[in-house]
A and B are shown apart, each in its own frame.
Chain A
Amino acid sequence: MKVSLNAIRFMNQRYGTAGEVVPAGGVNQLVEKIGAQLGAVEEVIDVGKKYKGIVIAKVVSCESHPDADKLSLCRIDDGRKVKGVKRGPRGLIQVVCGAPNVKEGMLAVWLPPGTIVPATADKDPLKLEAREIRGQVSNGMLASSHELGLSEDHSGILDVDQSVRPIKPGTSFAEVYELENDVVIDIENKMFTHRPDLFGFLGISRELAGIQQKPFISPEWYKENPIFPAIEGQRLELKVQNELPKLAPRFNAVAMSDVKVGPSPIWLQVELSRVGIRPINNIVDYTNFFMMETAQPLHAYDYDKVTAKDAGAKHATITIRHPKKGETITLLGGKEVKPHPEAIMIASKTKAIGIGGVMGGADTEVDATTTNIILEAANFDMYSIRKTAMEHGLFTDAVTRFTKGQSPLQTVTVLAKIVDEIRKFAGGKVASNLRDSKHRLQNPEPVKVTAKFINERLGLNLTPAKMARLLENVEFKVMRLAGGSLGVMPPFWRTDIHIPEDVVEEIGRLYGYDHLPLDLPKRDLTSVEPEPMLEFKAGLREVLSAAGANEVLTYSFVPGQLMKKAGQNPANAFKIANALSPELEYYRMSLVPSLLDKIHLNIKSGFNEFALFEINQTHAKDLIEKDGLPIEEYRLGLVFAAEAKRAKYKYQGAAYYQVKKYLELLLSHLNIEAVYEPMTLREPKMEVGKAAAAPFERQRSAYVMTKDNKLIGEIGEFKPSVTSKFKLPAFTAGFEIDVAQLLKQQSPQSSYQPIPKFPKVEQDISLKVPGRVDYAQLHSVITKNVDKFKPSNPQFSLNGVDIYQDEEDKTHKHITFHLEIASFDRTLTAEEVNKLLDKAAAEANKKLGAERL
């Protein structure tokens, strides 16, 4: 919301509503107060400075540019005011102009060389110079309203109206438009979401007085039930049929005759231009101006054009209804819209003439030929207006205001004011009775609140009298009730004060939040409830990063293509219905595909080996909680990759074992012993399990199980199709683990082992086993039997040292373990340890057909 201090000042002078708006401390102090008590100030624009050096000039001649069809070669007169510019005969200055509306005799706004285009002043200032355009020198430029930073209109250059008062060429632009000493303060709109009144100068001005703890008195005419003038002379029939009383709770209209349409007085044009509204004609300008002043949108229709819509009708009828099937309407500005079925249409008896609360229709607009008009001041449902605006992309000034919930109690007030203005200054006569369709209007109700309630919530100690004064400054009525209670009656334009907390906000703000006491809340020494998950995850990240892995974050949403590349079926993934980017199609079902997607780009950037991991949530349609919400699975994914040369030089064997090393590291940290079950043994039952397993090559992958047979994840190398589609190096593997299971399974038991006093004995044992026997089986049998036959209270460890298999003959393999054993009671001998291993080997022979070598 851009607030021109001059606009506020002029209004206060016009109506005597408040004193000087800028405090003794100057504009900066005002800006600080606005920030602290009204809303964030986005920008303070020194308007005068922005227009320095810009003058009004007369276009004396205008010819086609010899070498460009769409350009004109103009000679302009600046009354010889501007210095240092090259002048031709008669002191005229040559300017090239591309606007279609440039013509001889007009007054235009000239930006001489050396000036800055005002619209660019804030961001990337464009300084003009004399330069050649297609072989012709242009001394600066003639500016459009857009280039002047007044509005978005750049259809042509600004045509300075001189019908109301003569303007001499060479006059400063800022002087003519009363911008010289103006400062515009841009306050963030969001703050005003629930303050419809602040979209008008009256509201802003009232608030500026209130936060400076000064009284504001609304103009005499701004009261709830104004006296509405009676019909004068000729009568124009006007019927209003409101078929949508809920969506249009109030609809006021009146007809006026004998209106003289023409340009507005310059002060009005200036007021509108200053806030970026293009002056059109006096009637339209009044509707816009009083909207700017009161925040109540208004609309004027041409009475005769409305009547002509209904064949054979003599009188105007206005109907408020939903669109008829297939109905379209061409709006002001020429856009044709087919309104959605629940839009609020303003129509004649038979045909649409506007979309209520959004924009009027083009073919009933007020123009130079108009003599009779209908004026509308209505109130519409904010939700409905919002829907229509969103549906059709129509974000007008009226929409901005109606979507904040304007008060339906001010429509007649504002209508009476504009009628009065048109009677006085545009010759209009009231030609119908006031039409007032109203439905369940709610008058503001007093809010009862104690001073104690307010002080408790602000940490203050204000007296009821002080509170009352703060509120009365902005025209609340405050009744002092018994026991320090206040009965707070909001004024009719406020729609946001319903509960005691609303009054708390109002008082806090008007008093100034910067005066609140800054105390910390007091609490006892009860320790904070632990919530283990976050801390647990932090621990996992610590372990993995200490093992040289890099934590990545990737998006929770993935394209369907990525899932397909990983062999997953997107049908089981939640689908995003409204993403701007096609990259964000589905909630991911597992993390590994996102990680695979980051391998190739890093290899390409020259990283030849790395481990990437991520801890994040995943979702799938077949995992739903009892309350109907998707279950959030916490997962840990890790991938390891080494490009070919590095892999050959540094690693031997399958990449699987490298990634397994990472998992084992993590599990040993958590005291979890895992079982690796070959993936070839079974299929996952659930869809989500299939998705997790999908990218893995079954021959070289495993399910990670706990000892009590709970699935905690998958680990392995990837399918050749996955490898080729993600352009992975051959030496790539990964795992994905359920973090919640890890948290559950981690053992709080200490893995500490006391240290035996007696020396340890170390021995290797090599066994030849059939090819089908796997490492873990053999390790487990030997361990069990060493434990079973162990001599006198020992402590031991058994680790794999080597696995050998003939390349040609895979029927057998040799596995060598290294045993370290020590007793707490005595020194063990090499022989007894060797015997122990013999016994274990004998058992392994019985169970697995192993032979000790």
Chain B
Amino acid sequence: MGYEIKKVADVADVLKKRLKTMEHKPSILRAIELKALADEIPLLKPEKRAAFGKELNKLKAELQKMVEVAEEETTKLEPIDVTAPFDVNTRKRPRPLSSELGSQNPIMADQDELINIFARMGFTAIESRQIDDDYHMFGSLNFPEGHPARDDYDSFVTAEKDKNGKPFIAPAHTSTMQNRVLKQFKPNLEKGQAIAVVIPGRVFRNEDLDPRHEHTFQQIEGVYVDKGIHAGHLIATLKTFLQEYYGQELDVKTQPFYFPFTEPSFEFAMSCPFCRKKGCNVCSYSGWIEILGCGMIHPNVLKEAGIDPNVFTGFAWGVGTMRLTMMKYGIEDIRHFNSGKLEFLRQFK
């Protein structure tokens, strides 16, 4: 590589020579000669500064590259026989770590438990997608284009576009699977059976992190459709599930809410299972914990999946499971779940 400015070219020669004999190669990038060249720039005539700076950067880049190549060479590893169960000339044999050290992430372990409860209640489990299109995330769920209700879902979108020219979306709720699940299990209805599915999955919201907010979290969606399903069935089903999870009798209550894809929609609260309504810091001394959003599936959502809303009705809910897990263990910071810190993970044996 040639340098047009003589001063730079001279330094380049000196440093390249020095690099060959150096023990710690990356130190060349902090060589005093480079610093001296940089210090010269402000002393130059203004019109010459840019060219000089460019040359200097070129030299730095070249040296950086040379350091990387040299490092790869010096640390080149011997080939090994990848088909063997252990290395040559060794007496000790590979062994897994003690079982006592192992752990499962509490979110996943809890998710298994929740799926298991629903399985006992007759629900199939299907996992949610982590990248989806606008149609499934919004369109099929009765969110018209540009609808202000979309603002409540601060979703991540990709630079790449789907076949309709819209960005792909990192789903902000597991409801993104509703249309697929309804279509997939529609034959159940034709056989006189219910659609009963839960959908666990990772969802995303474009939020800043703090001890109570994550941009990446876990939800379980539930969908139930059959003839003659009413809002009382919804409340009873969720109550049963929560009682199973907490192993105790609970009181529940609903508050009207708005989701475009359910009508009516509710926010669902349970009596605090930790203090049995006496008031504690988990329930902020209110005795109640708002736990999920739910509602009767909007007829447009059923229609979109080819199900006649005059014949069949159903309900759906979505519950954020990280909060359940945090409350269960008294975890103080939601960021621990995705931190990869063993101090945290090894506590969940």
A720 touches B76 (CB 8 A): yes
B228-266 vs A, CB cutoff 8 Å, 1 = contact: the mask equals 111111011101100000000000011111100001101
Please report the C-alpha to C-alpha distance between residue A457 and residue B310 in the assembled complex, in whole angstroms: 11
Task: State which of B71, B104, B231, B263 has its C-beta within 8 Å of the C-beta of A513.
Answer: B231
B199-220 vs A, CB cutoff 8 Å, 1 = contact: the mask equals 0101010111100000110000
B89 touches A803 (CB 8 A): yes
B131 touches A632 (CB 8 A): yes
Q: Give min CB distance, A404 to chain B, whole Å.
A: 7
Indicate if A776 sits at the interface (CB-CB under 8 A): yes
Indicate if A475 sits at the interface (CB-CB under 8 A): no
A191 touches B256 (CB 8 A): yes
In the complex, which residues of chain B have a beta carbon less than 8 angstroms from the beta carbon of A657?
84-87, 94
Indicate if B272 sits at the interface (CB-CB under 8 A): no
Task: State which of A190, A530, A621, A776 has its C-beta within 8 Å of the C-beta of B83.
Answer: A776
B345 touches A653 (CB 8 A): no
Mark the stretch among B4-12, B32-40, B56-64, B95-103 that contacts chain A: B95-103
B146 touches A383 (CB 8 A): yes
Indicate if B115 sits at the interface (CB-CB under 8 A): yes
A-side interface size class? 35 or more
B156 touches A800 (CB 8 A): no
Task: State which of A530, A717, A800 has its C-beta within 8 Å of the C-beta of B86.
Answer: A800
A596-618 vs B, CB cutoff 8 Å, 1 = contact: the mask equals 01100110010101111000110
Chain A, residue nearest B214 (CB): A555
A492-519 vs B, CB cutoff 8 Å, 1 = contact: the mask equals 0000000101101100110001101111
Mark the stretch among B46-54, B273-281, B333-341 that contacts chain A: B333-341
Task: State which of B130, B202, B313 has its C-beta within 8 Å of the C-beta of A457.
Answer: B313
A547 touches B97 (CB 8 A): yes
Q: Give min CB distance, A361 to chain B, whole Å.
A: 25
In the complex, which residues of chain B have a beta carbon less than 8 angstroms from the beta carbon of A194?
258
Q: Give min CB distance, B219 to chain A, whole Å.
A: 14
B124, B209, B309: most-surrounded residue (chain A CB, <10 A): B124
Indicate if A412 sits at the interface (CB-CB under 8 A): no
B229 touches A521 (CB 8 A): yes
Q: Give the number of residue pairs across the A-B interface with Cβ within 8 Å.
A: 361
Indicate if B190 sits at the interface (CB-CB under 8 A): no
A516 touches B232 (CB 8 A): yes
Chain A, residue nearest B209 (CB): A581
Please report the C-alpha to C-alpha distance between residue A621 and residue B161 in the assembled complex, in whole angstroms: 11
CB-CB contacts below 8 Å: B141-189 with A: 145-149, 151-152, 156-160, 162-163, 167-168, 170, 185
In the complex, which residues of chain A have a beta carbon less than 8 angstroms from the beta carbon of B193?
523-524, 526
B108 touches A521 (CB 8 A): no
B119 touches A528 (CB 8 A): yes
B130 touches A617 (CB 8 A): yes
Task: State which of B79, B80, B170, B196 has its C-beta within 8 Å of the C-beta of A576.
Answer: B170
Please report the C-alpha to C-alpha distance between residue A609 and residue B346 in the assembled complex, in whole angstroms: 13
A721 touches B71 (CB 8 A): yes
B256 touches A513 (CB 8 A): yes
Please report the C-alpha to C-alpha distance between residue A597 and residue B108 in the assembled complex, in whole angstroms: 21
Chain B, residue nearest A501 (CB): B263
Please report the C-alpha to C-alpha distance between residue A680 and residue B92 in the assembled complex, in whole angstroms: 27
B102 touches A547 (CB 8 A): yes
A534 touches B115 (CB 8 A): yes
Please report the C-alpha to C-alpha distance between residue A656 and residue B85 in the assembled complex, in whole angstroms: 9
Given contacts A520-B237, A521-B233, A652-B92, A581 and B215 within 8 Å (CB-CB): yes
Q: Give min CB distance, B148 to chain A, whole Å.
A: 5
Q: Give min CB distance, B93 to chain A, whole Å.
A: 8
Given contacts A548-B100, A556-B202, A804 and B125 within 8 Å (CB-CB): no
Indicate if B194 sits at the interface (CB-CB under 8 A): yes
A553 touches B167 (CB 8 A): no
A685-723 vs B, CB cutoff 8 Å, 1 = contact: the mask equals 000000000000101111000000000000111011101
B149 touches A519 (CB 8 A): no
Indicate if B317 sits at the interface (CB-CB under 8 A): no
In the complex, which residues of chain A have a beta carbon less than 8 angstroms from the beta carbon of B308?
none
Indicate if A220 sits at the interface (CB-CB under 8 A): no
A813 touches B88 (CB 8 A): yes
Indicate if B292 sits at the interface (CB-CB under 8 A): no
In the complex, which residues of chain A have a beta carbon less than 8 angstroms from the beta carbon of B108?
538, 541, 551, 553
Indicate if B107 sits at the interface (CB-CB under 8 A): yes
B296 touches A652 (CB 8 A): no
Q: Give min CB distance, A185 to chain B, whole Å.
A: 13
In the complex, which residues of chain A have a beta carbon less than 8 angstroms from the beta carbon of B88?
653, 803-805, 813
Given contacts A505-B264, A531-B126, A653-B90, A547 and B157 within 8 Å (CB-CB): no
Q: Give min CB distance, B294 to chain A, whole Å.
A: 11
B103 touches A550 (CB 8 A): yes
In the complex, which residues of chain B have a beta carbon less than 8 angstroms from the beta carbon of A652?
87, 90-92
B83 touches A40 (CB 8 A): no
Task: State which of A36, A551, A556, A678 has its C-beta within 8 Å of the C-beta of B105.
Answer: A551
Given contacts A575-B160, A660-B85, A717-B77, A549 and B130 within 8 Å (CB-CB): no
Q: Give min CB distance, B26 to chain A, whole Å.
A: 9
Indicate if B82 sits at the interface (CB-CB under 8 A): yes
B86, B235, B237: most-surrounded residue (chain A CB, <10 A): B86
Indicate if A619 sits at the interface (CB-CB under 8 A): yes
B342 touches A550 (CB 8 A): yes
Q: Give min CB distance, B206 to chain A, whole Å.
A: 6
A190 touches B237 (CB 8 A): no
Mark the stretch among A174-182, A227-235, A267-275, A661-669 that contacts chain B: A661-669
A190 touches B258 (CB 8 A): yes
A523 touches B194 (CB 8 A): yes
B72, B76, B168: most-surrounded residue (chain A CB, <10 A): B168
Please report the C-alpha to C-alpha distance between residue A505 and residue B72 in the assembled complex, in whole angstroms: 68
Indicate if B221 sits at the interface (CB-CB under 8 A): no
Q: Given contact pairs A457-B230, A580-B215, A803-B87, enumerate 8 new A-B contacts (beta carbons under 8 Å).
A: A36-B253, A386-B146, A459-B230, A575-B159, A580-B206, A661-B95, A721-B71, A804-B89
